[in-house]
Chains A and B, each alone.
Chain A
């Protein structure tokens, strides 16, 4: 906090503290009462800290909302342990959720999870500890005085709010997602479509070129197929589910299976944040855009690339000539084998007859 700005409010703080001392009974330990001391000032909507830069940091906290959060029964000073007196004379530091409460074996009853360790190893955590202050910390995604359970629509981490929460920093991705088939469906209230965390994970987010990432070349097929090979989800939208299996059998799929990263995976052709339906003229797999999309890897790709299906299942009649070739060869192979084996049997039988005849 800007110290000089704080000085300006010193008189105000003093009066406020006098008010607290006289009108609030300090002996009660009930959180609401104890906290109400703080809300004398922090409960005022226009309570703010104007910085020299012209930016105004609001210090207002909605008391009613706070009392309904997961920390609603906590004392302000449970987290803000550096608040020792009113008015505050010291700079009030950031709360460190992991060190103060949410560590394994904590005595305060805070939920204990490995998520902090996951975060520490993630791209966000690594960036933060490397000194990048733009990297998100707990509060950036979870909120500060407005932390609710993810099932609560007011939570930053409620499914409804995830894209916005991530979009605070990842603006371009947010815009791309909003215009994609997933994003437009999401806005329409569809509960099946993925939000950021569905593909990227939560605390364990890695860069896409990191093999540990759920969206890396190694794992993207698995991530997409979490929904796209589930008949019960896809049949609602008329999206075929064999795309994953047919990809696995394609040259691209086999190459990726054996660790060739340059081979195309789902996102190479379909895009990622801005995935659109193939009928959409803006889709990378729209028939008019296929030459360009294939051309990313296959120099000289032209309109021929768009003449024919991409996800081919030789067992399905929709595959056209490939289906008939597959059927014809099945007949050819079986009948050839049959004829050859019959020949071998006949030949052996005759030889045995002859040998018997010779012996006699």
Chain B
């Protein structure tokens, strides 16, 4: 039986490792990519020279890309073939209730409702972040690989397509970075309810009390399961 004041597991170790690897590689990719976009600015020049010049910047960018691609593949296989992870994955698939939740939340913000809607394990914001990252990563990896193996890809697709992917890689990178830097930062660091930091990403544990408040449907499910299982 889960008691008040206790903590329960919210994110398992493998997901946490995946999250940290993704975070580190994405940060390095963002910094090294930003330097290339902003090569005329002092900051861009500083980063490129600090990393040892144009070619080593590219090397670091690509090493991080390998890490990021590996994490994506690992995550993909993990949610596909591990029963536990697959169950988690099913919970993050968007559904009609997310649209309802979205409007209820707006209504709550504007004073039309007394409280947030009853969220499950992942609320619509978290789902949006997850799928945003999934779409963004796919776009970045695909276009990045085309640019990386330019001699091969240019022999297959016309130059204007390469130029398009190059532009897309840069712009999509900026959007992804801004979303993570502004919104994700707010949700997991600056938000008054978690400030200075939501520690779930480190130990994977969440207070039962917080679970009950923020993810009541998941809380109810856990309660009934533990009652049945006599944990």
Determine whether the beta carbon of B160 is less than 8 Å from that of A320: yes
- A302, B39: Cα distance in complex, Å: 30
Question: Could you tell me the dominant secondary structure of chain A's interface residues?
Answer: helix
A329 — nearest CB in chain B belongs to which residue? B171
A348 — nearest CB in chain B belongs to which residue? B192
Determine whether the beta carbon of A329 is less than 8 Å from that of B36: no
Is A347's beta carbon under 8 Å from chain B?
A: yes
- A322, B166: Cα distance in complex, Å: 9
Q: In the complex where A308-B163, A336-B178, A344-B183 touch, is A325 in contact with B53 (Cβ < 8 A)?
A: no
A312 — nearest CB in chain B belongs to which residue? B163
Determine whether the beta carbon of B183 is less than 8 Å from that of A259: no
Q: In the complex where A257-B39, A260-B55 touch, is A325 in contact with B168 (Cβ < 8 A)?
A: yes
**Range, interface on chain B:** 35 or more
Question: Could you tell me the dominant secondary structure of chain B's interface residues?
Answer: helix
Q: 1/0 per position for A258-275, CB-CB distance to B under 8 A?
A: 111000000000000000
Determine whether the beta carbon of B109 is less than 8 Å from that of A304: no
Stretch in B12-20, B76-84, B148-156, B210-218 with 4+ CB within 8 Å of A: B148-156
Number of A interface residues at 8 Å Cβ cutoff, please give it.
43
- Nearest Cβ distance between residue A295 and chain B, in whole angstroms? 10
In the assembled complex, which residues on chain B have CB atoms less than 8 Å from the CB atom of A84?
none
Determine whether the beta carbon of A340 is less than 8 Å from that of B182: yes
Determine whether the beta carbon of A347 is less than 8 Å from that of B171: no
Is B179's beta carbon under 8 Å from chain A?
A: yes
- A259, B54: Cα distance in complex, Å: 8
In-complex Cβ contact of B155 among A304, A320, A333, A350 (8 A) = A304
In-complex Cβ contact of B53 among A259, A300, A304, A321 (8 A) = A259
A-B contact number at CB 8 A: 106
- Nearest Cβ distance between residue B109 and chain A, in whole angstroms? 4
Determine whether the beta carbon of A336 is less than 8 Å from that of B175: yes
In the assembled complex, which residues on chain A have CB atoms less than 8 Å from the CB atom of B154?
298, 301, 304-305
Is B229's beta carbon under 8 Å from chain A?
A: no
In-complex Cβ contact of A351 among B54, B106, B159, B193 (8 A) = B193
Determine whether the beta carbon of A301 is less than 8 Å from that of B155: yes
Scan residues 133-155 of chain B and give those whose CB is less than 8 A from a CB of chain A: 150-152, 154-155
In the assembled complex, which residues on chain B have CB atoms less than 8 Å from the CB atom of A333?
171, 174-175, 178
Determine whether the beta carbon of B159 is less than 8 Å from that of A322: no
Determine whether the beta carbon of A322 is less than 8 Å from that of B54: no
Scan residues 1-55 of chain A and give those whose CB is less than 8 A from a CB of chain B: none
Q: 1/0 per position for B72-110, CB-CB distance to A under 8 A?
A: 000000000000000000000000000000000010111
Q: List 13 A-B contacts (CB under 8 A).
A: A258-B53, A258-B54, A298-B150, A298-B151, A304-B155, A308-B160, A309-B163, A325-B164, A329-B167, A329-B172, A333-B175, A337-B178, A344-B183
Residues of A within 8 A of B (CB): 248, 254-255, 257-260, 298-302, 304-310, 312, 314, 319-322, 325-326, 329-330, 332-333, 336-337, 340-341, 343-344, 346-351
Which 10 residue pairs of A and B lie closest in terms of their CB atoms, listed nearest first?
A: A308-B160, A307-B158, A308-B159, A329-B171, A258-B54, A346-B109, A340-B183, A300-B155, A304-B158, A325-B167
